[in-house]
Structure 1
């Protein structure tokens, strides 16, 4: 596993606005506090999200982008990118792999954080089809696409993007987590980031209690002291 001191850049690739914040905003805040550069890449526009059916899809996409930008600021992230795929229709296509590989080569991160491509039978939420699609496409973009100069040759020949090898991947929502990050000092910023997604969390009066209960259970699994909170990941070496 990477030494935290060796992580200078992190790329987070998820399907929807708010996936990052439910899955890893406390960890991201801790990275930023250590001076790590973090970039968010969203695969979909979030146009099929929310509960107000009077809002059209195009306007919903605009709202959710603004919410994600506001949420990112809560944890110190300012670079938020969006591929604009339709919400709810994501597939792990060659086009999606190329688009993610492009950003990997642009950002050149040490660590990529993404959703697990596995179905989680203990909790159905992480198993949204878009989550699994972006997780599978991202893993394929990490290996072999981004590191292979012959993969998607237009990235090198037309865009000048040299191949790049990501050193490690962390999976959100995995049924088999093997790494826990203590976010006790950043949990309030995670909650603030989640509240910024008003279309998704505004109807949840018990949001803080729900999230902290889940994170406290993670901390127990990690063997952390009482009163701690933790986010869980599955670490995937790429070497």
Structure 2
């Protein structure tokens, strides 16, 4: 699985429970964090070292859910755009790792809670979508990557997190992974001035997700918009 996020901590809020379940089952997961997170935080004393701090936080949080391979694109926080250069970086990583699933932030704005739709989140989703189809599977897109040995690759499935509520079509029971997810989120202490409030909000959201998909009252779930890209029911790009 190859997981994209705009900032350090995005993936922990959106999908860390699901990812913890995957790694526990032996699935190899790689993170790609697109920006350096330099615009995050609340403490003025952190400014000089915020980029390194956030990278350390993300590495530690990833380790708690079984992820060791983390790539950082180093784009500037707040300035991410789905440019050809960014799309090429995504294509390069997809062709290198050849994942069964690409997981990304959603490219559509969620009006029910606009905080999910930071412009960098939308740009992350758009860049990944453009990379997954058609660029990664087109041998004539970015021919310099083919020359470097990174041949075209067809991604089977694209999963999105953090999208509009009406797009949710897949729910994952993460009841057994809730504490690992919250532990990963808490690692990003530079971003949370009120950890107890954050904890309560996340637990409530997970319970609400479970309720929406008909799970028992004591269950928790993460939600995704799953799109089949190259599956048994797709044909020649149609």
Residue 180 (str. 1) matches residue 159 (str. 2): no
Partner residue in 1 for 2:91: 101
The normalised TM-score by structure 2 is 0.94
Aligned CA RMSD, in angstroms, stands at 0.9
Partner residue in 1 for 2:211: 220
Residue 111 (str. 1) matches residue 105 (str. 2): no
- Residue correspondences, number: 228
User: Aligned partners of 2:174, 2:45: CA distance in 1, in Å?
Assistant: 37
Q: Deviations over 1:211-234 (max 9, x none)?
A: 010000000011111110000000
Runs of 4+ in 1 over 6 A off after TM superposition: none
Partner residue in 1 for 2:233: none
Residue 72 (str. 1) matches residue 59 (str. 2): no
Residue 122 (str. 1) matches residue 112 (str. 2): yes
User: How much has 1:202 moved relative to structure 2?
Assistant: 4.7
What is the SS of the residue equivalent to 1:186? helix
User: How much has 1:105 moved relative to structure 2?
Assistant: 0.7
Residue 231 (str. 1) matches residue 234 (str. 2): no
Q: Residues 186 and 195 of structure 2 are in contact (CA less than 8 Å); yes or no, is this contact kept in structure 1? A: no
User: How much has 1:115 moved relative to structure 2?
Assistant: 0.6
For structure 1, the residue ranges without an aligned partner over 5 or more in a row are 1-9
The normalised TM-score by structure 1 is 0.93
What is the SS of the residue equivalent to 1:84? strand
Q: Deviations over 1:95-153 (max 9, x none)?
A: 11000010101111010110111010001111100000010000110001111111011
Residue 144 (str. 1) matches residue 134 (str. 2): yes
For structure 2, the residue ranges without an aligned partner over 5 or more in a row are 231-238
